[in-house]
Every structure is written in C-alpha cells, then in structure tokens.
Chain A
Amino acid sequence: MTDVDQAMAWARARAAGPQRVPASTPSGAGMRRLVETEAGGVWLLPVLPEGAGPTVLEELGLTATPVEQPNDTARVLAACLRCCWSEPNGSPWPGVVASWEQVTSVFRGITDNRDERYSNIALVAGVRRLAGAGWLRWSETTREVQLGPRVAAWRDPELSTLRELWRLIPTIDKPAESGQVEPA
C-alpha cells in the first residue's frame, strides 16, 4: 500500500467513518478489518488507542455528536442488538440478519405500552439514523437489519454490560402481544 493510498484511506475514514471496500483491498495502518459474513466486502474501522474513545469527550467537558431522539434511537439499537447478536458470548460483529418483523416485535417488547403507530415511526427513524452513522446495515428493499461496523468499537468492559442488556431484553420467540417484560 503506497503512502498516497494510505493517506486517502485515512482521509475517507476521518470524513465518513468506517468504509466498505472490496475484500481484496489491503488495509492501511491503524485500520481494523471487519469481514462480512458472506465475505462480499470488508469494513475498515479506525482503531482508536485505549482510553481515546468517544468517552473521553465527556471527561473533557465537550459535547458529543448530537443524535436526534437519543433515547428511542438507543432503544432501536438495543432491539437490533438483541436480534442480530446471535452469540452473545462472542463479538457482536458480524452477527446475523434479522427480519423487520423480529426487530419490530423486540422493539415493541422494549417499549411495551406504546401506540403501534408511534412505535413504528420511532423504529423506522431510529434504524435510518443508525444506518447512517454506521451502527446498522439496513436494506430498504428487503427490510433486513444487520449490525454495522461501529459495534466492533465497543471494548470488552462495555461488551459485558451489553451482554447483560442482551439478557434483559425479552426473547424474540415470546408473543409480542403479551406486552409484559421481565422485571429488570
């Protein structure tokens, strides 16, 4: 990989976040290769040094990148994580493909007593937002959801918290209309 290629790859990552490239592309320095399940492509995720992640912003008193409807968006991500993280003992990446119905039912399980129409609006908006930021991969045509490359940026301590979350969220097999969730 030449210096120019490297510089270009870095510039792309700085400007647009994780990049999907053909599997044959060599990865530059400081990039983590995330291979898709079908091996059709590779995502290059910038690796930040330990302790230099987005959490530092809070310590330094800087505002993080704002997100609209932060709570609902986080809930959507949690629902997708529950559906797509097939083996919570391992890494969430790459995970499995989840159908729209699965995600909907889990999301409704999280926000149990909410009007269906609002719940759908929040879900679609949240999925679009997360897909734009690289947290999810979403196909509008097939309406299938997968986890995005950014989930690989969670470190081990956070993953163990997320495993707890995974267990906290009601399972997909449970009928959605029961509406009750297990106590936290």
Chain B
Amino acid sequence: MDDVTGLSFDDLAGEAAVLGVYRQVFAVLARESGAMILDASSVDVDEAILGSFAEAGPEGLTVEQVVLACGRYSAAQVRRRFEVLREYRAVERVKDRPHELYHRAAFAPYVMLLFLRRIADRGGQAELHQLLTLEHLSVQESGATVDDARGTTQRLSTVFRLLANQLAGLAVGGVVETLRENAQLLWGNHGLLDQANDVHQTVLSRWSELDRECRALRLAIAAYRDAVDAAAGRLIEQAGATRALGLLPVEAWLSFAREAEVGALSDVLNDFLFDAPAPWFAADTLIEAVESAQHTTPVRVTPPRPQTEPGSPTEDVVPDAEAERLGALAEQLLGDRGQVGVTELIDEIGDWLGGRRLLADLTAMHLHDTLPYELRWSDRLRIDVERNLSWVTEGRFARVTEMGEMTETGRS
C-alpha cells in the first residue's frame, strides 16, 4: 500500500479484506496484541479453543462455555488466548451488537495452525514438495496465462533463494550444532530440485518470453544446490568417516563431561560400557614402527667435537667475547715485548689465587685457536722456600706472528 491515494475504493476494500485474513491467520501466532507467541503451549490452547467452536456448531459459544470445553487448560490461560484471538478477529461475535455473548470462529486460523503444525513436524519440506507439485500443475494447465507462469516462477525463485541463503549462511559461518539442527533443510533436496527443474522446463518451453524470470529461477535453484553441497560437506567433514550425523558433536560431550554434576554424568554413562583409557596400537602403527627401525642409523654416542671450527663461517660472524677479553689481557701482559716469562708474570701478582687465575688465562690464550699466542713450558723449576710461591715452573708466553710460526727469540 505504497500509494494509498491512487487506489480506488474497491482496491482499498480488497486490500482490507486480504489484511483481515492475514490478521486472522496470524492470530494463532500472537501472544498479545502485537507480539508473537513464545511457547508452543499457547498454540495448543488455540487449537483447543478452535476445536471447541467446531464442536459447538453455528450457534457459537460464550467465553464461559469455551473455558468449560477447554477444561484441560487453566481458565485464565484460555481467557487470555480467547481475548487475543478476538482482538485479531479470529473469533467474532455472532451478531455485532453490544453485550453479545455468543462467538464463532473463522476457519482461516485453524488452517494456518494445521500448516504450522505440519511445517514444525517436517521442516516444511513436504509443504514445499506440495507447493511445487501444485505450481507445476498450474503451469501445465491449458488455461494458464503468462502472468500465472510469471507468478509461479517468481514465487519459486523467492522460496529457493530464501532456502539457499539460510543454508549458505549456516554452512559458511554458522556453528556446526545449528547446522546439524537444520539438517532437515538438506534432506530430500534431490526431489525438490527435480521438481523445480520440471516447473522451470515447462514454463520455459511454453512461454519463451519469460526468459528472464526463468533465468532467476535457474540461478536460485543452483544457489540452493551449492548451499546444500557446502552444508553437507561441512557436516560430513565434522562427522568424520563414521558419517554419524545423528551423534552429538565432540565438543558437546567434552563440555558436558567437564561441567556435569556427578549424578548427571553417571546417569548418562550408566548404559555405556567402555574400556579404560589405554594406549592403542593399530596394526599400521606396529608396521610403521618396525619398518622405520630397520632404516635407522645406528644409535651411537656423538663423539665430542671442538666447540669452534677454524674457518667456519659462523666463527667470523659471531663475535667471541671471551677471545676479546683474552686478547686484551695478553696485549696488556706482553706490552711491546714479543714474549715474557711466566715466572715474571706470576711474581708480579705474588699470591696463589691471582697466580692461578693468570695461569688459567694464559692456558686459555694458548689453546684458543683464533688468538695468536703461545705458552711454552720449560723443564726448569724454580724452588724458593722463602717466597710466597715456593715452586714455580718456568715457561714462556709469546706472541705468534704468523700462523703456526713462533717468534724464535722466545726460545732459550
């Protein structure tokens, strides 16, 4: 009703009639005026109310009679639903006058209720099949016009678009559990697709001018097929090779096992016999292990290797803090001299601890393979009982000028 002013009185009356039927139809879904019901029990009460009207015959019933007839439900509940139904004009006064007590029911809400029940039971698949059959019959009729066919095509496009959108959303971004609950949308889709294709074929062959509409229908059907494939793929991937789509997902079990009370957990597990957790050796595992053992290299203790290898590329890159320290110390000890006697150096220090540290450093300089220093011990031994260090082996600490060549002056 975009442009009310442009409509004639007849059009307005027609629209009002359609709206009235809509209101009646949706009355069973209304909780209060303007709000949807939230629980299935309200629908049960509605069904009982409408049923009691059907029993009553054309005279109708008063509110009290209805309450009495629906004795299974509480009086307050029945009254409340009755009011809602009356507001939506699903229940009307027999004669429209003040203080009229008798009411009668319209049939449209009950028909709607039946549809809702069927759709709730079977997910709308059966209704969709029937709808497709009806549409197919209508386009096959000899008296069908191009407008009928256009309407049919557009309606079917819409249905399949909606189906495909819902499924595709679930298949791509939805939680797997939601997808699993809606898996009924996936079932029997081959029949649906075949029927839809039949309708499409009929329309296209009879009215070639409906090319565009048919294209839309083709696209919608293809979109639905893709969505079904995606959703089924996701479910199968989740279920593993067992294909047990009906099983609860792993996450559900895990979180249940973690959070459940002891009682609830034991109730559930009561009927399950399972083995204690133990390592499992599959036949393939054994074969793999045995075969891999026959190709392994002998297990040997790795021989000690030098920590630094001369000329290895890492050696040049990584600065050696120890080498720097030793080099600086060696230069300090040697000064300008090419060599120096160990006894001299030891005497400069004069105590055990310092002497020991110095000897350690000298040995380290000698052994370090990037530092050009050498330590040579002679056979002579200086013994002096008066001094702090009474036994000192004589030796020479010298700088090596070339690789492997020592300053000859150092040799006595």
Contact = CB atoms under 8 A, between A and B. Distances in A.
Interface of A: 10, 13-18, 29-31, 45-48, 51, 53-56, 59-62, 64-67, 70-75, 77-78, 81, 110-115, 118, 129, 133-135, 150, 153-154, 158-159, 161-162, 164-165, 168-169, 181, 184
A74 B286 contact: yes
B240 A110 contact: no
Nearest to B277: A65
Contacts of B298: 113-115
Interface in B324-351: none
B40 interface: no
A51 B242 contact: yes
Contacts of B277: 65
A162 B286 contact: yes
A78 B286 contact: yes
B278 A150 contact: yes
B294 interface: yes
23 contacts: A14-B274, A15-B276, A17-B275, A45-B275, A54-B280, A54-B282, A64-B280, A65-B279, A65-B280, A67-B279, A70-B285, A74-B281, A74-B285, A74-B286, A77-B286, A78-B286, A110-B290, A112-B293, A133-B278, A135-B281, A161-B283, A161-B284, A168-B291
A30 B276 contact: no
Contacts of B241: 59
B275 to A, nearest CB: 5
Interface string B224-263: 0000000000000000111000000010000000000000
Complex A-B, nearest 3 residue pairs according to Cβ-Cβ distance, in ascending order: A59-B240, A74-B289, A54-B280
B275 A161 contact: no
A150 B242 CA distance: 23
B292 interface: yes
Interface in B357-411: none
B240 A161 contact: no
Contacts of B292: 71
B321 interface: no
Contacts of A165: 283, 286-287, 290
B31 to A, nearest CB: 42
Contacts of A31: 273
B300 interface: yes
Given A17-B278, A110-B293, A115-B300, 17 more contacts: A46-B274, A47-B273, A48-B275, A59-B242, A64-B279, A64-B280, A65-B280, A70-B285, A73-B281, A74-B288, A111-B296, A112-B294, A114-B299, A115-B298, A162-B283, A164-B287, A184-B294
